[in-house]
Structure 1
Amino acid sequence: MLEDLNFLHSSLDNQVCTKPSIHLVLADYHTSGTVKDYLEKAFPVEVLNFKDATHYWQEFKAPEGLFLVIIDGNFAGIELIAKLKQKNLAFKTILITDMPRPGDHLELSRPISYDRLKVLVENIFGTSVKRPEQQSFGGLIGDSTLMQEVFSKIKNAGPRPILISGPAGSGKSSVAEAINKNISGHTINCGHLSPGLLENEMFGPDDGKLGQGGVVYFKDIDKLPLLSQAKLIKHLKNQSVDAVKIVASTRKDLIDFSNAGDFRKDLLNLFGAKIILPSLEDREGDLELLITHFNEKYSAIHGCEGIRIDESALSLLREYEWPENVRELENLIEKLVILHTGSLIETHHLLDKFFKGQILESTPYQLPETGIDLRQLLRDIEDSLIKQALDKTGGNKNRASKLLQINRTTLVEKLKKRKRELNNQVP
C-alpha cells in the first residue's frame, strides 16, 4: 500500500520543467532504461525514472502543465494513478499491461512497440514534441522505423539506377517523385504501352526520353519486354556518366522473375539502391500521421472543413489489413472529407469491410435469461427495415430494394409472403 504522504510540496515553484515531462514507473530496470533512452533520443522531453510507485509518490514534484506517466499496470500502479487524479493535475497515463483495464488511460502491451509509443507520445503532447523534418521527405509521409529506412536510402541512393519495389498502392510513384524533385523527369509506363510504343518512348526521335537527360522513371519495369531490356542495358553502358538517371518500380519479385528467365539478370545487377516499400499494415504508427495529412490535403483541395475520427472508428482502421495500402487510405479519407465535412467520424460512417473479423462488444438486443425466439426476432427486424425503406421511398419498391441492397423481385416475394402469413392468421 502506498504511503499517504503530502502530495504538493512548498518548493513546487522551483521545480518547473521547461520541456514536456515524462515519468517512468517501471519495475523492470532494463525496460525502464531502454524506454528512457528511446524517448530522450526521439523527443525534446525530460524523462524522469522511478523504480516503483512508492518512490514516485515520495519523490514527486509536480511539473508545470501537462505531463505523462508511463507505469506498470499492476495494483500499485492503478492505485498511484487514482491518487494523482484526486489532485486534479493535468496528466495522461500509459499503462504497460497485458490485460486490458477499464479507465481513461492508454495502454501498451509487452514487448513494447516503440513505433506505437511514439504515436501515443505525439498525440498526447502535440506539436511541442513533434519534429516534422523526421516525419516527411520529399512529399512522403511516415514516422515508422521502416519509412525512416526508406528516407535514408533515398538520401544516399547515389548515381546508379534505383529500383523501387513494394505492393500495390504503397507509394512507389511517390518515391519516384521524391527522387525527381527539382530535376526534370520523364515517365515510361511499361504496363500500358505496346512493345513498339515502348521502343519509341525510349529511343524514338531525338533519342527518345532516354536522350533528354534528367530522370527517367520506368513504371512496372517487370513488364518491359526482354528485347527492350537488352537495348536499355546497352544504352546505359554506352552513355556518359550521369547523362540520365534511371528510376524503376515494380510490385513483383524481380529475383524470381530473373530466375524464371522473364527479367534479365544483367539489368537487375545494374541497379544500385534497392528501395523496398512496406505495406501500410507493417508501417506501425504511421496510420494516424497519414490520416492527418490526407485530412488536411483534401479539406484544402475541396475548400471545406476537415473531419475528426473517434477512438472506436480509429481502432477499426488500425486493425484493418489495408490490402490496397496507402492509396486505399487516401481514397477513404477524401470520401469522408467530402461526404461528412466537419463531422466526427464514428463506426457507422465506415464501410462493412472495416468490421471484418470484429467481435461486437455491444448489441441493441440483450439475451434474456429465459432465451429468445431468434427466428421471430430476425423476422421483426426484417419487417421493420422493409417498412422503413418503403416509407422513405413513398412505396416505390424499386428504390426501396436498392436501399436494402436486395433484388426487387426478392423484396416483392417477401411482401407477398408476409401478406399470406397475415391472411392465414386466425382472428
Structure 2
Amino acid sequence: MQNYNDEDHKIINKDGVFADEWSQCEELLSESEQFKVKQEIQTGDRPYEYNQCDEAFLNSSQHESHVLAHSVEILYQCSHCDKAFSHDALLKSHMHSHTGEGSHQCSECGKAFLYNNQLITHMRTHTGEKPYQCNQCDKAFSIKSNLTSHKRIHTGEKPFQCTQCDMAFSNNSYLKTHMRVHTGEKPFKCSQCDKAFAQNSHLISHMTIHTGERPYQCSQCGKDFTLNTHLVRHMKIHTGEKPHQCIHCNKAFLFNSELTLHMKIHTGERPYQCQECNKTFLCNSHLKRHMRIHTGESPFECNQCDKAFIRNSELSRHMSIHTGKRPYQCSQCGKDFVSNGELNSHMKVHSGERPYQCSQCDNSFARRSHLMRHMRTHTGERPYPCSECDKSFLTNGNLKRHLKTHTDEKEYSIYVQSILQK
C-alpha cells in the first residue's frame, strides 16, 4: 500500500469538520496507519486554534485544512462527476470508480477497487448489509460517513456555513454544490443541446428528455423515475415515513429541507423578491420558476405534441392526457390524481385540515396558494393587469375571464362592420 506523509494526512480530523471524509480515509489507510492517526487524536493535545470557530487541531496541516473548509475551496474536482475532494489521494482513489482499475473485483457486478476494504464496503450494496445503526432512530447505513451525516438531523448541527449567504449545511458536499448558486458554475453540459447544470444528477435527469429512459420503477404503484434517489424519495410516500416534525403545528415531512421551507410559513420569512413585480418567495427555486412568467420560458416540452410548460409538474399533468395514467388514488373516495401533491391537497377535503391561517382575520385555508390569494383582499394587491385596458385583478383566472370581454367586443365589432359593409 502507498505510504502517506503528514501533508497527506492534513484532512484527517475525526472530531472536527472533516468527519465526513474520515471514513473515506479509513478506506485508504492501512490498519497501522489508522491506529497511528487515532492515537494522535486521542492525546487531546491541540495547540493550533482557529479564531473563526472553537476548533483546535493537532498540527499545523490539520489547522490549514480546517481553514480551507471555511473558505470552501474545492481543491480536487473529479472531471467525470460532481464529486470534489479536499485531497488528491481521495480523488485518485475515487477515479478508479470511473477507470475500472483495481485488483479487487466484485464477483456480482465486476466493478474493481484499488483496496480490499473498498470492495468490502461496495459489497454491502449487493448484500443490503447496513452495520452502522443510528442510536436515535431505527435507520441504519452501509457507510459510516452516511451515519455521521444522518446524526446531524437529530442534533440539528450544520457545521458547513456558506460564506456568501446565511445558509448552512450538515454535509460538506451539500455546501460545495450550493456554492455554485453564487459562482454560477455549471460544469455538467448536455451533449444533445446547449443546456448546462450545476450537478451531475441534474444532467442525468435532463438526458432522459432526449432518451426517454426512466429505468427506476416503483414496485408499489408502477411509477417510473429517472434517478434512483427519486425512487427512494418516492417510496417514503408508501411507507408513510416522515421523520422531520414541525414544533409549531406538528406537521411532518420526508426531508429536513421540506421542514426548513415549511418553517418560513410560521416565521413569515420570504427573502426572495422578484425584480419585475416585487412578489416574494420562500425559496430561490420558487423565484426562478416564477421568473419564467416574465421571460416566457417554458422549458418542459411534451414529446407527444407541441405544448410546453413552465413547471415539470404541469408537464406531468398534461402527459396524463396522452398516457391516461393517474397513479395516485384517494383511499376515501377512489378519485385518481396525476401527482402525489394533488392527492395530498385533495385529502384535506376529507380531513378538514386547513393549516394555512390568515394573520389578519380568522380565515384559514387548505392550500397556501388559497391563503396568498386571500391575503390580497387585505393588502389590496392586484398583480394581474390587463394588457387591453387599465384594469387589474386579484387572480390570473379573473384576468382570463376579463380578457374574454375584450375578445367578445372585438368579435362583435367585426360582425357589425361586416353588416354595415353589405
TM-score, normalised with respect to structure 1: 0.25
Greater Rg over alpha carbons, structure: 1
Structure with higher RCO (Cα < 8 A, 6+ apart): 1
| TM-score, L = length of structure 2 | 0.25
